[in-house]
Structure 1
Amino acid sequence: MDILFSSWDTLFRIVLFTICGYFALVIILRTTGQRTLAKLNAFDFIITIAIGSTLASFILSSNTTIIDGITALGSLVGLQLLVSFLTVRSDFIKKAVKNEPELLYYKGDYLKDNMKKVRIVREEIEQSIRGQGFLSDKNVDAVILETDGRLSVISKVNYERELPKQGSLEKHIKKE
């Protein structure tokens, strides 16, 4: 019978810890600002997984106290904030934590070296182009893999209008 039900005390503890963990996490995330909830880069993704795992362990482990769980959650969010703070101030940390945007398609050319480097195939780029409402790549000047994993599609009209603000993309082209 222990497989289906252990005790009312265990269920009460799980409900109590779930409520405490949930509200503690909401308060921690709200007080640390929007950066914690922004689009994910690799480090943010790892922290998100770790927070989820920690919350689950906190809720289900009978050896963990409420203070232990809240401390663990706060430590992970604090680590994320520390790395974000250091990333803004140190190029070394920034390079270690964040990827650079990668140009994958430019003015009719699929940049195979760049595509191979980030492990994206032509069909994925074409899918992204179609997802932006284009039937083909004829009206597209560039496709860029952003640091959060999204593919940005720059149409010929938009690209020409935005070029003075964004700077030149030519430095990212590695033709075969």
Structure 2
Amino acid sequence: MFHLGTPAVQIVIRAMVVYLAILIGFRIMGKREIGQMTIFDLVLILLIANAVQNAMVGTDTSLDGGLLAAAVLLVLNRLVAAVRIISPATGRLFEGQPTVLVEHGKLLTGQLKKQGLAQEDLEMAMREHGFDKLADIDLAVLETDGSISIVPRSAPSFRTKRRARAIRKH
């Protein structure tokens, strides 16, 4: 029960490589995929998890091997979170930048296409925020977590404007 069938160093390195590969893969997939998970996305994640399990532990089926791989993944996740806080530039590398989709009531169709969003996705977010017309929106932003934030035209505030300026610069 407490015996590794694969050397510990090999499990650690394999788990690190798999973590980074999956992180890069999800980063390439884009913000929409992360924020709007469908049943297809869930199936994909489960299949990926099953596919990479052997890549992490090799032929090791011991409890120790599985726990070691899990511990490495948890530590790496914590390290990535810490690096994001310490170095915002590195955080942007992992997470990307917020993307303006609507500005002053005008739909930025190029940005919508670039982010892989259909207009229906934006319209759904508008309804969730209580908007039915683009003209009522000052700013709609696809956030790095895949959610869409909406700033109404009728309720400007200093904080909102400052945040909007920061987003527009990118």
Q: TM-score, normalised by structure 1?
A: 0.57
SS in 2 for 1:135: coil
What is the deviation of 1:95? 3.3
Does the CA contact (< 8 Å) of 2:99 and 2:167 recur in 1?
A: no
Alpha-carbon spacing, 1:72–1:170, altered in 2? closer, same or farther (3 Å): closer
Task: Give the one of 96, 99, 103 matched to 1:99.
Answer: 96
Which sits farther off after the overlay, 112-121 or 99-108? Answer: 112-121
Matches within 5 A, 1:1-176: 42=27, 53=49, 63-160=60-157, 162-166=159-163, 168=165, 171-172=168-169
Alpha-carbon spacing, 1:103–1:89, altered in 2? closer, same or farther (3 Å): same
Does the CA contact (< 8 Å) of 1:104 and 1:110 recur in 2?
A: yes
SS in 1 for 2:146: coil
Counterpart code for 1:113: G
What is the deviation of 1:165? 4.8
Question: Where does residue 26 of structure 1 map in the other structure?
Answer: none
Please list the CA deviations of residues 36-62 of structure 1 after superposition, one character each: whole Å capped at 9, or x if unmatched: xxxxx849x7xxx59x937x959xx99
Question: What percent identity do the matched residue pairs reach?
Answer: 21
Does the CA contact (< 8 Å) of 2:99 and 2:143 recur in 1?
A: yes
Rg larger in structure: 1
What is the deviation of 1:63? 4.8
Question: Where does residue 25 of structure 1 map in the other structure?
Answer: none
Q: Distance in 2 between matches of 1:42 and 1:131?
A: 26
Alpha-carbon spacing, 1:105–1:63, altered in 2? closer, same or farther (3 Å): same
Q: TM-score, normalised by structure 2?
A: 0.58
Alpha-carbon spacing, 1:170–1:99, altered in 2? closer, same or farther (3 Å): closer
Aligned length: 126
Structure 2 portions without partners, runs of 5+: 2-25, 29-33, 35-44
Alpha-carbon spacing, 1:89–1:63, altered in 2? closer, same or farther (3 Å): closer
What is the deviation of 1:92? 4.8
CA RMSD of aligned residues (A): 3.5
